[in-house]
Amino acid sequence: MWHKAAMVVALAATCSGCMTAEDRRAADEAKCRSYGFVRKNDAFAECLQRIDLARRAELRSASVFDPWDRPVIYRPVIIRSRPK
């Protein structure tokens, strides 16, 4: 029973700093404007794209579990025919 309580507390702690997609977009736009970029031009769009790419790269590098990063175990299966 205490496992469920611990999961709820961990989830609440994790999501307390969560941002919605709209909040994240507004923060990214504010950052690009602080760099001097003006909305609705290619440089502003590039700024937003670079922020998004950096965020994705950070998530990939912080990922602890990678389902493809594991050893391959091979053990041959020998099937013998029955004598007739």
| pLDDT greater than 90 at residue 34 | yes
On whether the CB atoms of residues 39 and 33 are closer than 8 A, the answer is yes
Residue 1 lies in a domain: no
- How many domains is the chain built from? 1
Residue 55 lies in a domain: yes
Residue 48 lies in a domain: yes
Average pLDDT of the chain to the nearest whole number: 80
Confidence (pLDDT) at 44: 96
Highest-confidence segment of 9-23, 28-42, 49-63? 28-42
Angle, helices 42-62 vs 21-34, to 10°: value is 120
Q: Which residue has the higher pLDDT, 35 or 73?
A: 35
Task: Extract the tokens encoding 31.
Answer: 């950052």
Confidence (pLDDT) at 49: 96
Mean pLDDT for the stretch of residues 6-30: 74
Residue 75 lies in a domain: no
Containing domain of residue 34, as a range? Answer: 20-63
Contacts for 83 with CB less than 8 Å, ≥ 6 apart: none
One-letter amino acid for residue 49 of the chain: Q
